[in-house]
Copies of this chain bind each other. A is one copy, B any other.
Amino acid sequence: MTMCTCVWFKQYSNERNLAVNPQGGNTGLVGGSVPVFDEIILSTALMNQVISFDSVSGILVCQAGCILENLNRYLEELDFIMPLDLGAKGSCHIGGNVATNAGGLRLLRYGSLRGTVLGLEVVLANGSVLNCLASLRKDNTGYDLKQLFIGSEGTLGVITAVCILCPRKPMAVNLAFLGCQSFSQILETFTTCKRMLGEILSAYEFMDDRCMKLVVSHLKLSNPVTESPFFILIETSGSNSTHDQEKLNNFLECVMASGLVTDGTVATDDKKIKTLWALRERITEALTYDGYVFKYDISLPVEKLYDLVIDTRVRLGRSAKNVVGYGHLGDGNLHLNITAESYSHSLLDAIEPFVYEWTAKYSGSISAEHGLGFKKKHYIQYSKPWEAVLLMQQFKAMLDPKGILNPYKTLPSSS
């Protein structure tokens, strides 16, 4: 399949100036994986084979079109897991995950793909294959070229195979779902949590009461704790269930006694764990039932995270139906979502560039994990200085001089 991709580029795209839109599971949220004008879609769907897995080192090599959930299922049978997990796992491809530097639910524990991806095979615009598919944890021979393709959304090359380091499947997983009275208490609970749960902490997610109302009313899920302004979901993953439960209980006693947390429930069995995760994971789905959704994916210093939600709510007043905040607090990543009865240009004008300017003011990122794609490429300057954008454009011109790789994406036009 990689050879087909090369031949395609050599014989068609490059020679005839045909633009290509690489596409994995097409689950992105910024239009990076859909053609804009007349680009030809290059799908990775048939490149779906595992190439090798080493159970001593935990190193997996596979083709780019493998679906994330399938890889995880394959690994679980061998007592390993993928180092990333996200809502779209049932259809997203590992090649697309790497091309967009996907974050998701396990980043807090296993780190970003920049650390776990050990090697890539990439087809360049001129049809040559760049083989950086090393299966080594350490390799300091020259520049780390693969990093340039991670997160470049298919604009510099087409990822055809991936080598990734996988952690062992944890023997025990526990969940706590807690109610909290203020955002500052969420932060203090996080600090306590990092101290007392330490190495077993694998997720620290938060959602506000508006999110809870939406999943309860639109999806008929039940809130397992008393009404609170905020909710926290904490997951632990470890190698000894007795130890993990003891650590979790000690932590819960401490935050309950100090009043940081006002109510909570714990799950140790698979079924209840899934029920509690659904409250957080299905917020996106609940939002779609609420009307038209304006979606923002923001990184901020954690202390500032929720102020953006409050300020946006005040600014929009009654012109928005709901302004909600949730996300991966442990990573400083806020998903700010605004719903309205229907799309309105004046509402969009009230939101943008306000949200971007607010984020830039506190040195945040206007796209924490979704990328820029087609929809957000013009906002890059809110998070990157112009010298950096200029350099990115030079890289693009060098690697794709004819502009045939996923054009109109990621970077603003250099002219």
Contact = CB atoms under 8 A, between A and B. Distances in A.
A367 B141 contact: yes
Q: Which of A107, A151, A152, A190 has the most CB of B within 10 A?
A: A151
A414 to B, nearest CB: 13
Contacts of A333: 137-138
Nearest to A148: B143
B246 A190 contact: no
Contacts of A142: 372, 380, 384, 388-389, 392, 410-411
A385 B140 contact: no
A370 B140 contact: yes
Contacts of A383: 134, 139, 141
Given A112-B115, A143-B151, A199-B238, A136 B243 contact: no
Interface in A123-159: 128-132, 134-145, 147-148, 150-152, 156
A56 B365 CA distance: 18
A317 B410 CA distance: 58
Given A138-B328, A138-B332, 12 more contacts: A103-B140, A130-B385, A130-B387, A135-B363, A136-B365, A138-B365, A139-B383, A142-B388, A143-B395, A144-B148, A168-B198, A197-B239
Q: Which 5 A-B pairs have the closest CB atoms?
A: A115-B115, A198-B239, A147-B147, A139-B365, A138-B368
16 contacts: A54-B301, A103-B138, A107-B138, A111-B116, A115-B115, A138-B333, A139-B367, A140-B370, A142-B380, A143-B392, A144-B147, A168-B194, A171-B198, A243-B243, A394-B398, A395-B398
